[in-house]
Structure 1
Amino acid sequence: MLLRLGLAVVPTSLPRVHPAPIPLLQRTRSCLSRRRALLLPLSLPLSSSSAATMSAQPPPAPPVARKNPRELVEHGDARVDDYYWLRDDSRSDPAVLAHLRAENDYTAALMADTKQLEDEIFAEIRGRIKEDDIDAPLRKGQYYYYERTLTGKEYAQHCRRLVPTDGPVTVHDVMPTGPDAPAEHIILDENVKAEGHDYYSIATFKVSPSGKLVAYAEDTKGDEIYTVFVIDAESGEYVGRPLKGITCDIEWAGDDNLVYITMDNILRPDKVWIHKLGSDQSDDICLYHEKDDTFSLGLHASESKKYLFVESGSKNTSFIFYLDISSQGKELVVLTPRVYGIDTTASHRGNHFYITRRSEEFYNSELVACPLDNVSETTVLLPHRESVKIQDVQLFENHIAVYERENGLPKVTVYRLPATGESVGQLHGGRAIDFVDPAYAVEPEPSQFNSNVVRYYYSSMRTPPSVFDYDMDTGVSILKKINTVLGGFDASNYVTERKWAAASDGTQIPMSILYRKDMVNLDGSDPMLLYGYGSYEICIDPTFRGSRFSLVDRGFIYVIAHIRGGGEMGRKWYEDGKLLKKKNTFTDFISCAEHLIENKYCTKEKLCINGRSAGGLLMGAVLNMRPDLFKAAVAGVPFVDVLTTMLDPTIPLTTAEWEEWGDPRKEEYYYYMKSYSPVDNVKAQQYPHILVTAGLNDPRVMYSEPAKFVARLRELKTDENLLLFKCELGAGHFSKSGRFEKLREDAFTYAFILKALGMTPGLEASSL
């Protein structure tokens, strides 16, 4: 399902997403790979003569979008959209492209005086990255698999080495290197595949059960419509013809068959197919067609690799089919029935399916098991708990690792399971994995089903991404890989805190805070960047992001507001920030900003805010509600034309998201959404400095939404502050595809923020 996310998740559907890492939930198995950087001194000031020359040149006039009024009527209410013409589904209208290029030219002209600073920030960010590196190798079958990056190269190589011995996987398992080690084999070099493409992304890389073949999903536009290729793992030669126009959800059903999902004309994943290698795609068999346009399909394999699970889900309901890979019939069988309000995910071990089940009564989920031969006979393993949300589970031959959330923080508890074939009962005596930071992120990593080792990813805002192997029998945890951060980075220089702000209704909102302890005063004089998201039950955990230190090492305080609409505090946290309670998301964010100001973390004059995608909706809403509270705002690929978009079922995501935002064809939702939709609430008032971004090929938030928002702001705002719009004409929701190209967006954003605060060398705030 496409969600309007930003990092996120492409499971059953693509949300309007942010770029932060998103947990690998069973129900939303991401097919976007998760890519996992002190600062050099500020640049020397420009000479006074150079600054004078720049300030003496009058700035160019901003682009003015022509008006072509279009009346939109619903429930007897007429809205006039002067900029509806900016929407072009083909993305080829010369007038639209000319306007977008004019906006890009205007932005480049007004940011020309910070180009040197942007380049230096880019060099800082890139300088923290160890460019030649490998992931923590994962042992599967007779090989270690891993990704390698090379100095100066934008993309990864997918590699493997033979395992020299046949012993069991343990936490002490290490891939041998050196002259006597088995030779490295490069299965696929993305740098070679990316040649000739402005955009290139491999979202899924799946090795067949025998290890002889590899299937990978390729996107060369950023529109998240994939082509799947199968290659021989040793020779790299193509096997059969590619599968075109599909999602990145693909799984092997034995060595001879692939199961995959296709989308309808609004990019809703609606059909699941099975493909026999060597045959033509037109001969593939459709296993299921989901005709309800509020539901979308997802696909994942059990950890045992014996079953595939097809989930059909909406925001409130999901049901599951399973496919027995060993069966000759290759037919889907119902595992959990379609019951409104019941949400299920599944996996398999031995003679039982394990099902996580959520309902209105069990809103934080319960874990049950049922026999393969009687799926209606369920045994509760972990009952529902009001204060603990079950977020994910990983099954092993003898253990289960349960990923939960309590009091807003992730936790992992490991239980030993009875021998296969024995009856199952409630889980008792679990062992919790300990974590040290006050605020942190933990996510499941791929692990080996037939081992006693669970692999997990850990980071905090000051702890670089780390991969650990945890022995579920002994409780021993071994660090397998920590990302090297160059440039003199020292985690002990930084402080992470967890604070709480009181919302307007008294609800306590958690915040994660990062700053450099020798560079902040905590007296209100420090600049701040406050980030928010608050949608889709997504948890924006405080992960490490190396680029942030280009602000933090300049004295910034960086804060994440974990506002309602997200999933940090459990299912009710999400439900209290959606539909007719969506405004809680916006007022929570405002309350966090006010709390930080009252407690002297910053002042209004030093407070900058940032959000992407659905977080861009947050930016638009709070800018309209409280423009006086912020100095500058960055709205990345923002979902800002909420009412018009959600009234149009021909736009990707609309039908699937009526359960998230509401269906404005119903009068109650129409007027509620109209009261906060950013495009509909721009008014004649002063706004802070604003940077808005978009991607021409974005399938989650159409480029026309931010374009219209900017046009409305230009028409109505009464200030002379910066209003810049930057549209990537060759990319989609996640900006450019190369690992260094992506860093340019951060560098540009930070240069804008520094310019807005008057912190650019040689430039005074008055020169804005």
Structure 2
Amino acid sequence: MTESRAAAAASVSAPVADRRPTARTHHGDTVQDPYEWLRAKDDPQVIEHLEAENAYTQARTAHLESLRERVFGEIKSRTQESDLSVPTRRGDWWYYGRTVEGKQYGIQCRAPLASPDDWTPPELSADVEVPGEEVLLDANVEAEGHEFFSLGSFEVSTDGNLMLYGVDVAGDERYLLRVRDLRTGQDLPDEIPDTFSGASLSPDSRFVVYSTVDDAWRPDTVWLHELGTPVADDAKLFHEPDEKFWVGAGFTRSDKYLMIGLGSSITSEEWILDADDLRGQARVVWPREEGVEYDSDHAVVDGQDVLYILHNKNALDFELVRVAASDPQGTPEVVVPHAPGRRLLGLSTFRDFAVIGYRREGLARMGMFDYATSGIDELTFDEPLYAAGAAGNPEWAPPVIRLGYASFVTPGTVYDYVVATGEKLLRKREPVLGGYEPADYAQQRMWATAADGTQVPVSLVWKRSFGDELGDAPRPLHLYGYGSYEHSIEPGFSVARLSELDRGVVFAVAHVRGGGEMGRQWYEDGKLLHKRNTFTDFVDCARHLIDAGITSPDRLVAEGGSAGGLLMGAIANLAPELFAGVLANVPFVDALTSILDPSLPLTVIEWDEWGDPLHDADVYAYMKSYTPYENVREDAAYPHILAVTSLNDTRVLYVEPAKWVARLREAGADALLKCEMVAGHGGVSGRYNAWRERAFELAWLLDVLGVAEA
């Protein structure tokens, strides 16, 4: 503990939550939970306790105020605040976003095409007026009078006349849908409250397709609203009663069909509806089958409407088949067979070709897919670690495909890929002000050996001026992890991360089991009754970095968020001696309590990921053995811990980190809680607010690492 931090700790007293034991009995096991009363969000005493925690955290970190301001200033000074995105063509317009210096939110704009054959996006400049520009939505105006603002849906109709947008001003991810007539600039009378994100306008601009959620915050119903009619008259297109399934809907790129998709963690089902007959009868693509996931997209091959279906039936890493759209349950034609070690991720269809994504050797890849031959032409890039994928391609018959690209050292880059020639046209690279040079930084992948012999990939990035080679001396290191839901942590660039790297910190990602980096089996080996592999993999990665001389326990801070926050709580219990600090964002640290209560948001659908402890005694015992809140150790010397949460988070409730911090303090841990009182799972809204939030976290992290100065 630094002298200033020690002085701060001595000068203020930590809040002490009352112990009000609540009994919980399952499978013959009774647990007395002293802090479950903190779940009562409307109880003034709960709010008083959270505000006391915030005040304590502010007092304990007051010595970091100047460092926070420096880090915030560094993020701000490296960011081109007035900027524009690369325009994307749709219909007769180029669509793009603006950011303006001093404003929190983006501005959505469009400008007319030069001609119908215009596929070269205009080169825009923040200080040059764009001919014919129309401002569609200025989020700064829409956000006036609100502490929080988020767009959940944003779409312009095919004919370019209407704009659909959904607004959340609380952070609870309930959106009010509105439709604006872009010819007049006025909103239509149609307003649809309490919707989920991802609403769509029909191709003929007559209808809005949207979803609503049940009491457990599960999107369970798809609705059809005809513009100009009362919302009370909206037609129910689909309702899914099974609490394990989420429901959503969207139109194919071809505008031919509406696809209604249902999914649990392990099973999916799709229904197809003709876009020109939305009041007609939907038909199932493939009836659901437990453990079978699939996703389909429409194409026209030899004049026939077909569906390409990516699925995992008897194909662990998925295969691609083709069926007739009129008879999707007919005999499928295998076009890309299953290949162990090549995890197929998705297919985006266009009129004349498709783009296919897959993972191989721990990296995401992409290629052009030929309808006639079913061949894949893989796109290649120069860096050994990178992330690339098709992005922002609404047109059905484009001659170019928009690509997004980045690495740990290369800022976000936009290419247009010319399909006919294979040429990649650089459209924009995210500007990083202040003289940033990618060559000044190095990235590397190494492999750590887990206790069971599994090789776990670890990605690292650092600044070369502190040493070209790692392992010559222990360095301050920031180790990030997630490891759930088959979510992969890709190599990506971060302006904020430069404030660490330029102080000599090595940033690393432990690609632990439970994620998807190494294929579907990698995920299977880190879920349900194999979940402990996620935690032990992270600990083994930390030990590898220490044993290799790259860092040391007093110079190592771990970070994870949401399910990665569960990882943080678990590793703090498993190996507290390996870490100087643990940063847990919206952490899922009271997992057993939450997963036992089917009335809580998202619980039932989560049983496929974690198991069902309510009805299965073995799952109950297994989860109880690792859930962080229930396994806080009295005998452990815990690292410094900072938990960050939000009062209106509907995914991981604020009560989990609140209880966890209270329990950690009982065990003598130096634990801080920061609760945003008007925000959701993603934290605060507005880019400057988000920068300040990250500056707060990084200042704490840098202080723990002892590298406050650049």
User: TM-score, normalised to structure 2's length?
Assistant: 0.96
Tell me which moved more, 374-383 or 507-516: 374-383
Q: 1:674 to 1:180 in 2, by over 3 A?
A: closer
Query: Hey, what's the Cα distance between the residues in 2 that align with 1:652 and 1:632?
Result: 30
Residue in structure 1 matched with residue 174 of structure 2 by the alignment = 225
**Structure 1 position 380, deviation (Å):** 1.3
Secondary structure of residue in 2 paired with 1:79: strand
Q: Does the CA-based 8 Å contact 1:188-1:236 persist in structure 2?
A: no
Residue in structure 2 matched with residue 459 of structure 1 by the alignment = 406
Deviations 1:29-82 (A, max 9, x none): xxxxxxxxxxxxxxxxx9xxxx88994994211000000001111000111100
Secondary structure of residue in 2 paired with 1:339: coil
Residue in structure 1 matched with residue 12 of structure 2 by the alignment = 60
Q: Does the CA-based 8 Å contact 1:143-1:163 persist in structure 2?
A: yes
Q: Does the CA-based 8 Å contact 2:503-2:708 persist in structure 1?
A: no
Residue in structure 2 matched with residue 204 of structure 1 by the alignment = 153
2:343 aligned with 1:397: no
Q: Does the CA-based 8 Å contact 1:522-1:601 persist in structure 2?
A: yes
Residue in structure 2 matched with residue 586 of structure 1 by the alignment = 535
Residue in structure 1 matched with residue 308 of structure 2 by the alignment = 355
Deviations 1:357-404 (A, max 9, x none): 333521111111111222123211111110111111111111111011
Q: 1:161 to 1:505 in 2, by over 3 A?
A: same
Letter paired with 1:105: A
Deviations 1:337-356 (A, max 9, x none): 11112111111112333333
Query: Hey, what's the Cα distance between the residues in 2 that align with 1:673 and 1:740?
Result: 39
Q: Which structure is higher in RCO with an 8 Å CA cutoff and minimum separation 6?
A: 1
Q: Does the CA-based 8 Å contact 2:312-2:319 persist in structure 1?
A: no
Within a 5 Å distance, the mapping from 1:245-264 to structure 2 comes to: 245-253=194-202, 254-264=204-214
2:704 aligned with 1:756: yes
Q: Does the CA-based 8 Å contact 2:411-2:431 persist in structure 1?
A: yes
**Structure 1 position 304, deviation (Å):** 1.0
Q: Which of the numbers 412, 415, 436 marks the counterpart of 1:489?
A: 436
Deviations 1:292-323 (A, max 9, x none): 11111022221212212111111111010012
Q: Which of the numbers 427, 432, 448 marks the counterpart of 1:480?
A: 427
Secondary structure of residue in 2 paired with 1:249: coil
Q: 1:141 to 1:583 in 2, by over 3 A?
A: same
Residue in structure 1 matched with residue 243 of structure 2 by the alignment = 293
**Structure 1 position 539, deviation (Å):** 1.0
Secondary structure of residue in 1 paired with 2:158: coil
Q: Does the CA-based 8 Å contact 2:299-2:308 persist in structure 1?
A: no
Q: Does the CA-based 8 Å contact 2:4-2:63 persist in structure 1?
A: no
Q: Which of the numbers 636, 641, 645 marks the counterpart of 1:690?
A: 641
Q: Does the CA-based 8 Å contact 1:689-1:723 persist in structure 2?
A: yes
Residue in structure 2 matched with residue 166 of structure 1 by the alignment = 116
Letter paired with 1:81: D
Q: Does the CA-based 8 Å contact 1:524-1:597 persist in structure 2?
A: no
Q: Does the CA-based 8 Å contact 1:695-1:733 persist in structure 2?
A: yes
Residue in structure 1 matched with residue 519 of structure 2 by the alignment = 570
Deviations 1:208-252 (A, max 9, x none): 111100001111011111111100124321112211111012112
Query: Hey, what's the Cα distance between the residues in 2 that align with 1:729 and 1:653?
Result: 22
Letter paired with 2:380: D
Say what the alpha-carbon RMSD is for the aligned residues: 1.9
Letter paired with 1:373: S
Deviations 1:524-573 (A, max 9, x none): 33100000000001111011111011111000000011111011111111
Q: Does the CA-based 8 Å contact 1:168-1:451 persist in structure 2?
A: no
Within a 5 Å distance, the mapping from 1:360-371 to structure 2 comes to: 361-371=314-324
Secondary structure of residue in 2 paired with 1:244: strand
Letter paired with 1:693: V
Query: Hey, what's the Cα distance between the residues in 1 that align with 2:6 and 2:292?
Result: 62
Within a 5 Å distance, the mapping from 1:155-554 to structure 2 comes to: 155-167=105-117, 169=119, 172-174=120-122, 182-253=131-202, 254-327=204-277, 329-350=279-300, 351-359=304-312, 361-377=314-330, 378-418=332-372, 427-428=374-375, 430-447=376-393, 448-520=395-467, 522-554=471-503
Q: Which of the numbers 105, 119, 122 marks the counterpart of 2:72?
A: 122
2:686 aligned with 1:738: yes
Report % sequence identity.
Answer: 40
Q: Does the CA-based 8 Å contact 1:343-1:359 persist in structure 2?
A: yes
Deviations 1:391-420 (A, max 9, x none): 1111111111101100111111102324xx
Residue in structure 1 matched with residue 661 of structure 2 by the alignment = 710
Secondary structure of residue in 1 paired with 2:199: strand
Secondary structure of residue in 2 paired with 1:248: coil
Secondary structure of residue in 1 paired with 2:641: strand
Query: Hey, what's the Cα distance between the residues in 2 that align with 1:327 and 1:259?
Result: 13
Q: Does the CA-based 8 Å contact 1:54-1:113 persist in structure 2?
A: no
Residue in structure 1 matched with residue 39 of structure 2 by the alignment = 87
Kindly tell me the number of residue pairs found equivalent between the two proteins: 698
Q: Does the CA-based 8 Å contact 1:264-1:270 persist in structure 2?
A: yes
Letter paired with 2:305: H
Query: Hey, what's the Cα distance between the residues in 2 that align with 1:86 and 1:588?
Result: 32
2:619 aligned with 1:669: yes
Deviations 1:578-632 (A, max 9, x none): 0000000001101111111111110111011000010000000000010001011
Letter paired with 1:436: D
Secondary structure of residue in 1 paired with 2:690: helix
Q: Does the CA-based 8 Å contact 1:164-1:182 persist in structure 2?
A: no
Q: Does the CA-based 8 Å contact 1:229-1:241 persist in structure 2?
A: yes
Query: Hey, what's the Cα distance between the residues in 1 that align with 2:12 and 2:278?
Result: 68
Query: Hey, what's the Cα distance between the residues in 2 that align with 1:234 and 1:389?
Result: 46
Runs of 5+ unmatched residues, structure 1: 1-45, 419-425, 763-768
Query: Hey, what's the Cα distance between the residues in 2 that align with 1:276 and 1:546?
Result: 44
Q: 1:173 to 1:112 in 2, by over 3 A?
A: closer
Letter paired with 1:67: R
Query: Hey, what's the Cα distance between the residues in 2 that align with 1:194 and 1:390?
Result: 40
Letter paired with 1:683: R
Letter paired with 2:26: E
Letter paired with 2:633: K
Query: Hey, what's the Cα distance between the residues in 2 that align with 1:551 and 1:106?
Result: 26
Secondary structure of residue in 1 paired with 2:465: coil
Query: Hey, what's the Cα distance between the residues in 2 that align with 1:513 and 1:299?
Result: 38
Residue in structure 2 matched with residue 599 of structure 1 by the alignment = 548
Residue in structure 2 matched with residue 19 of structure 1 by the alignment = none
Residue in structure 2 matched with residue 43 of structure 1 by the alignment = none
**Structure 1 position 695, deviation (Å):** 0.3
Query: Hey, what's the Cα distance between the residues in 1 that align with 2:357 and 2:9?
Result: 58
Query: Hey, what's the Cα distance between the residues in 2 that align with 1:746 and 1:236?
Result: 36
Secondary structure of residue in 1 paired with 2:196: strand
Q: 1:507 to 1:140 in 2, by over 3 A?
A: same
Tell me which moved more, 251-260 or 579-588: 251-260
Query: Hey, what's the Cα distance between the residues in 2 that align with 1:53 and 1:284?
Result: 58
Tell me which moved more, 513-522 or 696-705: 513-522
Letter paired with 1:713: L
Q: 1:385 to 1:104 in 2, by over 3 A?
A: same
Residue in structure 2 matched with residue 611 of structure 1 by the alignment = 560
Residue in structure 2 matched with residue 16 of structure 1 by the alignment = none
Q: 1:179 to 1:121 in 2, by over 3 A?
A: closer
Letter paired with 1:739: R
